Amino acid sequence: MTELLGIPPVLLFGQLLIGLINGLFYALMSMGVAIIFGMLRIGNFVHGAQYMLGAFGAWFLISLPDLFPGLGLPSLGYWWALVLVPPAVAVIGALMERVFIRRVYNLEHAYGLLLTVGMAFVIEGLFNVKFGAAGQQYGVPDLLKGGVNLGFMFLPIYRIWVIVAALVVCFGTWAVIERTRLGAYLRAATENPDLVRTFGINVPRMLMLTYAFGVGLAGLTGVMAAPIYQVSPQMGQSIIITIFAVVVIGGMGSIMGAIVSGIGLGVIEGLTKVFWPEASSTAIFICMALVLILRPQGLFGKETSAHSGADITIARRESILENGRIWIPVLAIGGLLLPYLVYPVFAMKILCFALFACAYNLIFGYVGLLAFGHAAFFGASAYGTAHLASVWGWSPEASLLGGVVLATGLGALFGWLAIRRQGLYFAMITLALAQVLVFYAVQANWTHGEDGIQSVPRGMLFGVFDLNDMMTMYFFVLAVFLIGFAFIYRLLRSPFGQVLRAIRDNEARATSLGYSTERFKLIAFTLSALLAGVAGGVKALVFQIASLADLHFMTSADALLMTLIGGVGTILGPVVGAAIVVTLQREFAEFGAWVIVVQGAAFVLCVLFLRQGVVGTLENWLGRRAERAREAGLSRRDPAE
């Protein structure tokens, strides 16, 4: 068969073996995510960092003599790591649950996801600071060295061990969760904790142990992966997006779905490397898109009722901070003064990302949908604008329009695929779809891969204004930002905007009033992509480059962090958040990886202590102050009146 296809048997079976092993790692990791989500309703984005902790734990044990040369410590090899590291990672997970994650159980699910994103940034950033980007080598244990010659390929013994051990762990875990009394108690504790307490069971402790067990699976996977892959701080970051795609395909919370989908998708990925190597990185995400079209709840998932994102924001009184008629001229005046106070390029970066954050806030703050893929629209427009300007020689306004059209089209497509799901499903779907675009940009010739599109010409705006002049370019960016800000403000004050707020606050009621909520959400998502495209295209002209960083998840995280810090669901919050985040990034730029640590810490602090953001907190303070003044005025009135 392989000879008929012109494929060497060694290549085919070798890639199948690699695909099977990758699939088993996907299954182990996805199973941990599924357990945590199914039992605790937490999208554990820090799972990749915990997997990395497992691999580093194994490397740490074997490197004890080198790390502490004066203490005479022995080198503890692979078998000790298998015994010691997963429980140690589980203990770390239990501490995380007790100190941080327990605080968000009763909040909207998006908060749990955002909290774990921040924790992942902190952990991975700290390891980057300590070990740098370079990986650490971890050898195969002596007992498992060598291999078996099958005639058509050489099969390493260690990989046989990984396959057998991973299968035992996967199906053993499934049996415990689904077929034992302990598993029944775990499921019941999440659905009806008061009932479980009547049996004398400590529900908080059970939830903590459940989270620790899921994290322990990630640690175990890291130990098993250490001899195969290089141990590095980025190893968890590179796998976690794939893991969530696998979980979405299998069905969020389905353990069997995670096992079957993980193994199956790993094999599909391996086969794709044989027949179409360029598409191997996107195979899983293409499968995910097909599953979403045919079965939105996943292969093994159950259909659930729509979950509103209303609780992500707190209803606020109308205040001076929400009056766009005041703030548009204030921002215009401030914008005119800004380039004389700071370097114009820095000011333009603030304006570009402020518009990007405002675009993100439109879908997150006013519709209640947590999206993780908005960098796709920002970056697509940047690439489109740069290509049209540098290769086709279009004018800056035409190039920008072309980039925005590309971003809007992608927004409509992504929205159509994702909008049928909500909550964590929606976040993971948008993240996975955005990742497809990243892999495309790496492979496509016109994007120039890692180099990006450089030396983008700014040209003459409308054939009159020379954008190569720094101040002319700045005032163009300021005008675009003010138009975008005014558009969002007018949109939110229109009947369409009022319907969006109604959907956010109570989607079932909006549906009962006859509104097609999916259609309204799709339109809002597309408009958000359009505005993100405007920001990305302008950014490409400002910095004269479009690169993979524009499409990276961290760019989406920046927009999310700006919105959180400024105030979700406030008109002015994203602008304030953008100014704070961009300034912090500049101040911490010289500290390298510490920037990621600071961003992660900001996520954690905002979720735990500043969920209303700077502007939201100030709005509530002004509202309480006004109410106290009214109450004081009423108390001083003559009772006879």
544-562: pLDDT as tens digits: 999 999 998 889 989 999 9
The pLDDT of residue 458 is 93
Indicate if 435 and 510 belong to the same structural domain: yes
Indicate if 217 and 137 belong to the same structural domain: yes
Q: Which of 553, 572, 603 is the last residue of a domain?
A: 553
pLDDT at residue 231 tops 80? yes
Cα dist. 354→76, 187, 303, 397, 480 in Å?
51, 43, 37, 20, 11
The pLDDT of residue 319 is 67
Q: Which residue has the higher pLDDT, 325 or 534?
A: 534
Residue 288 contacts residue 344 (beta carbons within 8 Å) = no
List the Cα angle 263/264/270 in 5-degree steps: 90
pLDDT tier at 195 (50, 70, 90 boundaries)? low
Of the ranges 180-189, 437-446, 480-489, 596-605, which is most confident? 480-489
SS3 (DSSP) at 12:
helix
On whether residue 617 sits in a domain, the answer given is no
pLDDT tier at 279 (50, 70, 90 boundaries)? confident
pLDDT in tens, 369-413: 989 899 999 999 999 999 999 999 999 999 999 999 999 999 999
Q: Which of 553, 588, 603 is the last residue of a domain?
A: 553
DSSP string, 480-493: HHHHHHHHHHHHHH
Percent above pLDDT 70 for the chain? 92
User: How many whole angstroms separate alpha carbon 532 and alpha carbon 574?
Assistant: 13
Indicate if 28 and 125 belong to the same structural domain: yes
Indicate if 384 and 486 belong to the same structural domain: yes
Indicate if 325 and 286 belong to the same structural domain: no
Indicate if 363 and 508 belong to the same structural domain: yes
User: How many whole angstroms separate alpha carbon 145 and alpha carbon 113?
Assistant: 40
Residue 475 contacts residue 410 (beta carbons within 8 Å) = no
Cα dist. 424→107, 218, 253 in Å?
13, 20, 11
pLDDT tier at 360 (50, 70, 90 boundaries)? very high
On whether residue 516 sits in a domain, the answer given is yes
The pLDDT of residue 393 is 92
pLDDT at residue 3 tops 70? no
The pLDDT of residue 638 is 52
Pairing of strands 154-156, 147-149: antiparallel
Mean pLDDT for 211-224 is: 94
Indicate if 418 and 288 belong to the same structural domain: no
Task: Give the residue carrying structure tokens 């298998």.
Answer: 82
pLDDT at residue 79 tops 50? yes
> The whole model's pTM is what?
0.87
Q: Which of 566, 521, 488, 33 is nearest to 308 (CA)?
A: 521
Cα dist. 263→57, 238, 301, 527 in Å?
25, 18, 17, 38
User: How many whole angstroms separate alpha carbon 33 and alpha carbon 50?
Assistant: 11
Residue 43 contacts residue 109 (beta carbons within 8 Å) = yes
Indicate if 279 and 321 belong to the same structural domain: no
List the Cα angle 294/296/300 in 5-degree steps: 95
Residue 404 contacts residue 530 (beta carbons within 8 Å) = yes
pLDDT at residue 630 tops 80? no
Of the ranges 188-192, 231-235, 428-432, which is most confident? 231-235
How many CB atoms within 10 Å of residue 176?
Answer: 14
Indicate if 380 and 289 belong to the same structural domain: no
pLDDT at residue 50 tops 90? yes
Task: Give the residue carrying structure tokens 């994103």.
Answer: 117
For the CA atoms of 365, 503, 519, 301, what is the dihedral angle to 10 degrees? 90
Q: Which helix (H) or strand (E) holds 461?
A: strand 460-461
Indicate if 368 and 265 belong to the same structural domain: no
pLDDT tier at 85 (50, 70, 90 boundaries)? very high
User: How many whole angstroms separate alpha carbon 574 and alpha carbon 338?
Assistant: 18
Contacts of 201 (CB under 8 A, 6+ apart): 185, 189
Indicate if 221 and 364 belong to the same structural domain: no
For the CA atoms of 337, 338, 343, 347, what is the dihedral angle to 10 degrees? -150
User: How many whole angstroms separate alpha carbon 78 and alpha carbon 140?
Assistant: 8
Q: Which helix (H) or strand (E) holds 466?
A: strand 465-466
On whether residue 152 sits in a domain, the answer given is yes
Within 13 Å and on the Cβ side, how many CA atoms surround 157?
9
Mean pLDDT, the chain, rounded, equals 86
Alpha helix stretches (DSSP H) within 310-395: 324-337, 344-364, 375-390
Q: Which residue has the higher pLDDT, 193 or 90?
A: 90
On whether residue 607 sits in a domain, the answer given is no
The pLDDT of residue 12 is 76
On whether residue 452 sits in a domain, the answer given is yes
Coarse DSSP helix, strand, coil percentages of the chain, rounded to the nearest 5 percent: 75, 0, 25
- As for how many domains the chain has, the answer is 2
On whether residue 599 sits in a domain, the answer given is no
User: How many whole angstroms separate alpha carbon 373 and alpha carbon 15?
Assistant: 30
User: How many whole angstroms separate alpha carbon 262 and alpha carbon 30?
Assistant: 7
Minimum mean pLDDT among 112-121, 417-426, 451-460: which range? 417-426
Which residues constitute the domain of residue 404? Answer: 310-553
On whether residue 569 sits in a domain, the answer given is no
Mean pLDDT for 532-538 is: 97
Torsion sign (Cα): 210, 213, 215, 217 = negative
User: How many whole angstroms separate alpha carbon 394 and alpha carbon 392?
Assistant: 6
Minimum mean pLDDT among 109-118, 160-169, 469-478: which range? 109-118
pLDDT at residue 296 tops 50? yes
Q: Which of 510, 486, 487 is nearest to 498 (CA)?
A: 510
pLDDT tier at 190 (50, 70, 90 boundaries)? low
Q: Which of 553, 573, 594 is the last residue of a domain?
A: 553
Indicate if 288 and 334 belong to the same structural domain: no
On whether residue 1 sits in a domain, the answer given is no
Cα dist. 630→319, 397, 636, 637, 641 in Å?
15, 52, 10, 11, 16
Mean pLDDT for 104-120 is: 86
